[in-house]
């Protein structure tokens, strides 16, 4: 079992929590991004953490995650098109707020996302909630604990 993190948009607090889980459970965790992640590059990360630095370009990091992840792994991403690809491949996916994506919910979430992106592309204002605080971090911790325990048993 490995954890892959789509690290480009993952909040620092979430990355630090993922590192704590990685270290405590001794699970190799690969942070995939187009730029170096400070917690990984400055040597503060546990031995279980690795950085997969991808070349610049749209979708390059996403493609690398799809290439590396296997069923039995966990991927953390906010990117719904990436999540959909991974769910279709039988890989467990959650976002940094602890929401688990599944075959039952990914299509409707993706459809809603595409609709909102379409509105924005037409110049219409959309409401965004970008806050990330203790509530979201706590939800992530609970989901990580639950899903990593479930993966370890299977």
Walk along the chain (154 residues) in steps of 10 and give the mean pLDDT of each run.
93 92 93 87 77 90 96 94 95 95 80 64 66 90 93 85
Residue 148 and residue 27 in contact, taking contact as beta carbons nearer than 8 Å: yes
User: Thinking of the domain 2-153, which architecture would CATH place it in?
Assistant: 3-Layer(aba) Sandwich (3.40)
Name residues whose C-beta falls within 8 Å of residue 102's C-beta, 6 or more positions apart in sequence.
87
pLDDT of residue 140: 95
pLDDT of amino acid 43 = 66
Q: Are 71 and 88 a contacting pair, CB within 8 Å? A: no
Q: What is the pLDDT of residue 153?
A: 86
Closest C-alpha to 28, from 58, 8, 1:
1
Phi, psi of 52, rounded to the nearest 5 degrees: -110, 100
Pick from 19, 4, 18: nearest CA to 97: 18
Q: How far apart are CA 154 and CA 149, in angstroms?
A: 9
Provide the pLDDT for residue 97. Answer: 92
What pLDDT, on the 0 to 100 scale, is given for residue 129?
A: 58
pLDDT number for residue 48 = 87
CA distance 112 to 80: 10
């Amino acid at each position: 079992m490995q954890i892959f993190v789509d690290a480009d948009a993952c909040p620092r607090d979430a990355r630090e929590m993922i590192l704590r889980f990685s270290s405590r459970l001794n699970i190799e965790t690969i942070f995939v991004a187009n730029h170096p992640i400070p917690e990984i590059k400055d040597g503060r990360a546990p031995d279980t953490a690795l950085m997969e630095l991808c070349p610049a370009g749209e979708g390059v990091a996403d493609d690398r995650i799809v290439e590396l992840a296997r069923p039995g792994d966990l991927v953390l991403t906010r990117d719904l098109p990436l999540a959909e690809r991974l769910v279709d491949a039988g890989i467990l996916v959650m976002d940094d707020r602890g929401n688990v994506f599944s075959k039952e919910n990914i299509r409707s979430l993706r459809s809603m996302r595409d609709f909102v992106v379409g509105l924005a592309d037409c110049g219409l204002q959309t409401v965004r909630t970008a806050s990330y605080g203790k509530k979201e971090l706590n939800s992530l911790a609970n989901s990580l604990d639950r899903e990593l325990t479930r993966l370890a048993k299977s």
